[in-house]
Amino acid sequence: MTSAAAPEWYKSAVFYELSVRTFADGNGDGKGDFPGLTGKLDYLRTLGVDCLWLLPFFPSPLRDDGYDVADYVNIHPDLGTLDDFKIFLREAHARGLRVVGDLVTNHTSSDHPWFQAARRGAVLPDGSPNEYHDYYVWSDTGTEYSDARIIFTDTETSNWTMDEQAGKYYWHRFFGSQPDLNYDNPKVVEELLSAARFWLDLGLDGFRVDAVPYLIEREGTNCENLTETHDILKKMRRMVDEEYPGRLLLAEANQWPEEVVEYFGTDQEPEFHMCFNFPVMPRLYMSLKKEDTTSIREIMDRLPAIPAFGQWATFLRNHDELTLEMVTDDERAFMYAAYAPDTRMKINVGIRRRLAPLLDNDRRRIELLNTVLLALPGSPILYYGDEIGMGDDLGLADRNGVRTPMQWNAGTSGGFSTAAPSDCFFPPIGDTVYGYGRVNVQSQEQDPSSLLKWMSRQLELRRRHPGFAVGELEFVGTDNPAILAFTRTTPDEKLLIVSNFAGNAQAVHLELGAYAGRVPVTLAGASPFPVVGEEPYPMILGKYDYYWLRLN
Ligand SMILES: OC[C@H]1O[C@H](O[C@H]2O[C@H](CO)[C@@H](O)[C@H](O)[C@H]2O)[C@H](O)[C@@H](O)[C@@H]1O
Ligand SMILES: [Ca+2]
């Protein structure tokens, strides 16, 4: 299987996001590594995912968990060697698994040799120009671009920080330890393209590209989504299409539908193959608490059409906070009240909790949101540990509470490492509800009704019906807002997905008149429902229940 032979593989792939540092420790030093991850590839294959997205694995001082890159073309020494990486990639490919990395484009670590050189000023002591100075964005006053918002609102008070050595302010959209690269400098563009080539030459299947809206700054704008930023990203895509056809670029652009869609580009001038659908994510949770799915339909209807090569990336949770940037002020207040009862759960503009605790560890709600995730348009991305219902640790700083070690078994440190829990990079969760003694892969593998086994069966069902991946979406009218009903249609089949977002059994009538004469049949058990007539089609769903059907 090569990416060039199946260039649109990403449209039907299920992705799995993981951090090498917290997945599996191969040498017992308490830190996950590539040999450890390689040993878990069979688990991932059996689970039924198709592509792994690895969080940044480059040398880094880890002031932002690796999103502060100090060297783009090497492996963080804690995670193994470049040879370990090559073995991992070979073994992943041998199992039919693709692998994408995380390309941190907007900024480097302040420890990066480019920034260390840049701080020496525009002119070196011997009078020669310092080419690295112009790799970053400098100011004498730190007053420019005042319309740009601050993203890490809990820690940063300005997007400018004074660098004493340079005697100037440098620009940073994230932490002060992450100076923004100057993309008006063509050398910077070339540096990042060569970094990407390095990994693509080794066989990586592509990148999730981090924080893409912020590459270019212009006075009088909010410095997001600028035309000049898109021009650079289109150049990156041209490089990939010409030199590495079939490899993937996935945009992390946390933006409203009208802006995010621009990151696909057009058929003539393509940009990203995939973009995260940030706006729909919080509305899935909101709908559950409100028992009203109107906001899901509204936001999906608001998504503009995308080019034929494009595919959305959908997700319930990731390594960051559950971001609330793409909701209104009222909706954000609702979400905080509903899902962050403890102030420690709030961070920046979001909620730092994992899926299972967010949903009160309620198996029905966890299943419901996952089924909607798997059925809505887009390729779903699962976050490691959510397939077994892992919890979080509010005692850890920043977003690290949702990045605790994968729980493999009930043994030492949950099977993540032979090191003691206190010697692990982050301590494994040990509490009585979510701790590794109770929640772990090994016990769920032995339990046919576990969340893990359910997830695996659901992924298999999804794989058997290509309509989930590429079918046309059409919402079905209902007389009950708690019920979300839609069809996914390909030339070969029409799927009908009906989901009850209410905590009580619900009756509903579906407007299926256009399909009169057809018989809904369950996908899992091939069980026929009453034939559809001209009149609204009645259905009863138990609390948080769902049907995956085919209209025969
Ligand atoms: O590299 C800096 C950060 O980039 C990503 O950030 C995104 O996360 C923010 C919330 O944590 C979000 O509000 C923003 O829109 C995103 O760009 C990355 O996923 C982070 O882990 C990283 O710190
Ligand atoms: Ca290790």
What is the rounded CA–CA span in Å between residue 394 and residue 403?
Answer: 11
The two tokens of residue 22 are 């917290």
Nearest CA to ligand 1 atom 20: 320
The two tokens of residue 139 are 């100011």
Nearest CA to ligand 1 atom 7: 211
Do residues 543 and 502 make contact, with C-beta atoms less than 8 angstroms apart? yes
CA contacts within 13 A on the Cβ side of 321: 25
Burial of 312 (C-beta count, 10 Å sphere; 0-12/13-18/19+): buried
**Which DSSP state fits 134?**
G
The separation between CA 512 and the C-alpha centre of its own chain, rounded to angstroms, equals: 34
Task: Indicate if ligand 1 lies below 6 Å from the C-beta of 387.
Answer: no
Task: Indicate if ligand 1 lies below 6 Å from the C-beta of 325.
Answer: yes
pLDDT of residue 7: 81
Q: What is the pLDDT of residues 209-218, one digit of tens each?
A: 999 999 999 9
What is the rounded CA–CA span in Å between residue 127 and residue 400?
Answer: 45
Q: What is the pLDDT of residues 445-454, one digit of tens each?
A: 999 999 999 9
What is the rounded CA–CA span in Å between residue 297 and residue 132?
Answer: 49
Whether 84 sits among the annotated catalytic residues: the reply is no
Torsions phi, psi for 171 (to 5 deg): -90, 135
How far away, in angstroms, is 202 Cα from ligand 1 center?
Answer: 26
Instruction: Point out the catalytic residue in the list 68, 78, 102, 210.
Output: 210
How far away, in angstroms, is 16 Cα from ligand 2 center?
Answer: 21
> For residue 67, which atom of ligand 1 is closest to its CA?
1
Whether 8 sits among the annotated catalytic residues: the reply is no
pTM, entire model:
0.97
Do residues 443 and 349 make contact, with C-beta atoms less than 8 angstroms apart? no
Percent of the chain with pLDDT over 70: 99
Element (H, E) at 239: helix 227-243
Whether residue 70 is predicted with pLDDT greater than 60 in this model: the reply is yes
- Report the pLDDT averaged over residues 6-14: 94
Q: CA triplet 375, 378, 384: central angle to 5 degrees?
A: 85
Task: Indicate if ligand 1 lies below 6 Å from the C-beta of 152.
Answer: no
CB atoms inside a 10 Å sphere around CB 246? 19
Instruction: Point out the catalytic residue in the list 17, 65, 252, 320.
Output: 252
Helix (H, G, I), strand (E, B) or coil at 514: helix
What is the rounded CA–CA span in Å between residue 289 and residue 305?
Answer: 29
Do residues 130 and 117 make contact, with C-beta atoms less than 8 angstroms apart? yes
- Report the pLDDT averaged over residues 269-280: 98
Task: Indicate if ligand 1 lies below 6 Å from the C-beta of 320.
Answer: yes
Q: CA triplet 217, 220, 224: central angle to 5 degrees?
A: 40
Task: Indicate if ligand 1 lies below 6 Å from the C-beta of 211.
Answer: yes
What is the rounded CA–CA span in Å between residue 36 and residue 97?
Answer: 16
What residue ranges in 70-187 does DSSP mark as E strands? Answer: 98-104, 138-139, 160-163, 168-171
Whether residue 177 is predicted with pLDDT greater than 70 in this model: the reply is yes
How far away, in angstroms, is 14 Cα from ligand 2 center?
Answer: 27
Q: What is the pLDDT of residues 408-425, one digit of tens each?
A: 999 999 999 999 999 999
SS3 per residue for 3-21: CCCCCCHHHHCCEEEECHH
Nearest CA to ligand 1 atom 1: 67
What residue ranges in 271-310 does DSSP mark as E strands? Answer: 274-276
Task: Indicate if ligand 1 lies below 6 Å from the C-beta of 546.
Answer: no
Nearest CA to ligand 1 atom 22: 67
In this prediction, residue 1 has a pLDDT band, given cuts at 50, 70 and 90, of: low
ipTM of the modeled complex? 0.94
Nearest CA to ligand 1 atom 4: 211
CA contacts within 13 A on the Cβ side of 530: 9
Task: Indicate if ligand 1 lies below 6 Å from the C-beta of 324.
Answer: no
Do residues 425 and 31 make contact, with C-beta atoms less than 8 angstroms apart? yes
